């Protein structure tokens, strides 16, 4: 569904959310495979650790919710490289929330980071990609965006919006020569999931997640989801009538 990538050598890749978790591991793998990287996140120190042995790597700290900082980083990349071959929007946040502990301030922060942040990135990179007529953009959503789940009262809807966004982007951009990747992880060992007090089924490391992410991009997939032993189960549940779906989720989670 997308252009396959057989060689990362020299490709210009911007990883947004590269200081920890899946983004950091993805950046490390890409650097090892010879890609030219621009690394962005709020944590400058984390970015510099990853870039320490790669002097040509661009370290561009930003807050994804700050439109001006995203545009500034884009301008520096284009000035340095003349274009961008792939943008990976990995940055996101998670806070456990259920209806009986709804917190509007926390909900708005999740919406700002998980939805408005990627929109800021789109505003920054779409003109460059469209003018080039080639390249790609990948957005990390979550398998939790497929359907309503306990503890994901706001997180799930923000990721559901990204799933819909990527589907629409694909329809608009693929005919223009631009690849679009919808990336839906299951449970991954990251700082965001470290505080979960429940057993996370099919939990995988950030390194394993990064390898799955890049394998999907290399194969030209649109929907990259992992680990499939868990994500395919949730995809199947989504096809059931609500009566069965709600019963099975309650049975599986006890919530």
Between 253 and 102, name the one with better pLDDT.
102
- Where in the chain are the domains? 12-253
pLDDT attached to residue 188:
85
The pLDDT score that the predictor gives to residue 118 is 98
CATH superfamily placement of domain 12-253: NAD(P)-binding Rossmann-like Domain (3.40.50.720)
Residue 244 has pLDDT above 90, yes or no: yes
Active site residue 155: yes
Mean pLDDT of the chain: 95
- Return the pLDDT at 203: 83
The residue-averaged pLDDT of 236-255 equals 92
pLDDT at 199 over 90: no
> How confident is the model at residue 254, as a pLDDT?
82
Q: Which residue has the higher pLDDT, 155 or 193?
A: 155
pLDDT: which is higher, 6 or 198? 6
pLDDT digits (tens, 9 = 90+) for 33-56: 999 999 999 999 999 999 998 989
Q: How confident is the model at residue 99 (pLDDT cuts 50, 70, 90)?
A: very high
| Residue range 203-225, pLDDT digits in tens | 899 999 999 999 999 999 999 99
DSSP states of the chain: -----S--TT-EEEEES-SSHHHHHHHHHHHHTT-EEEEE-S-HHHHHHHHTT-TT-EE----TT-HHHHHHHHHHHHHHHSS-SEEEE-------B-GGG--HHHHHHHHIIIIIHHHHHHHHHHHHHHHHT-EEEEEE--GGGGS--TTBTTHHHHHHHHHHHHHHHHHHHGGGTEEEEEEEE-SEESTTTTT--S--TT-EEHHHHHHHHHHHHHTT-SEEEE-HHHHHHHHHHTTS-HHHHHHHHHHHH--
pLDDT at 195: 65
Residue 194 pLDDT: 61
Ranking 36-40, 77-81, 187-191, 222-226 by mean pLDDT, the lowest is: 187-191
Q: Is the pLDDT of residue 190 over 80?
A: no
pLDDT tens-digit series, residues 155-175: 999 999 999 999 999 999 999
pLDDT at 198: 63
pLDDT the model gives residue 196: 65
pLDDT at 252: 84
From the candidates 155, 170, 181, 242, give the one annotated as an active-site residue. 155
Average pLDDT over every residue of 9-32: 97
Considering the entire predicted model, what is its pTM?
0.94
């Amino acid at each position: 569904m997308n252009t396959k990538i057989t060689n990362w050598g020299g490709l210009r890749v911007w990883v947004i959310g590269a200081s920890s978790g899946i983004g950091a591991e993805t950046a490390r793998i890409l650097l090892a495979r010879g890609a030219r990287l621009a690394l962005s996140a709020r944590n400058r120190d984390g970015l510099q650790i990853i870039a320490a042995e790669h002097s040509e790597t661009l370290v561009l700290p930003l807050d994804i919710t700050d439109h001006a900082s995203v545009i500034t980083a884009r301008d520096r990349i284009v000035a340095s490289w003349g274009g961008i071959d792939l943008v990976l929007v990995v940055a996101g946040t998670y806070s456990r929330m259920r209806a009986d502990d709804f917190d509007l301030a926390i909900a708005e922060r999740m919406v700002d980071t998980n939805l408005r942040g990627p929109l800021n990135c789109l505003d920054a990179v779409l003109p460059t990609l469209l003018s080039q007529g080639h390249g790609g953009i990948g957005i990390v959503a979550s398998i939790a965006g497929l359907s309503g789940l306990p503890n994901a009262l706001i997180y799930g809807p923000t990721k559901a919006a990204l799933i819909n966004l990527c589907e629409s982007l694909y329809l608009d951009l693929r005919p223009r020569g631009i690849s679009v990747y919808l990336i839906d992880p299951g449970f991954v060992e990251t700082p965001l999931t470290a505080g979960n007090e429940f057993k996370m089924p099919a939990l995988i490391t950030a390194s394993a997640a990064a390898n799955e992410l890049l394998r999907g991009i290399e194969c030209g997939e649109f929907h990259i989801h992992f680990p499939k032993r868990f994500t395919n189960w949730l995809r199947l549940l989504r096809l059931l009538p609500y009566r069965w779906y709600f019963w099975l989720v309650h049975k599986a989670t006890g919530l």
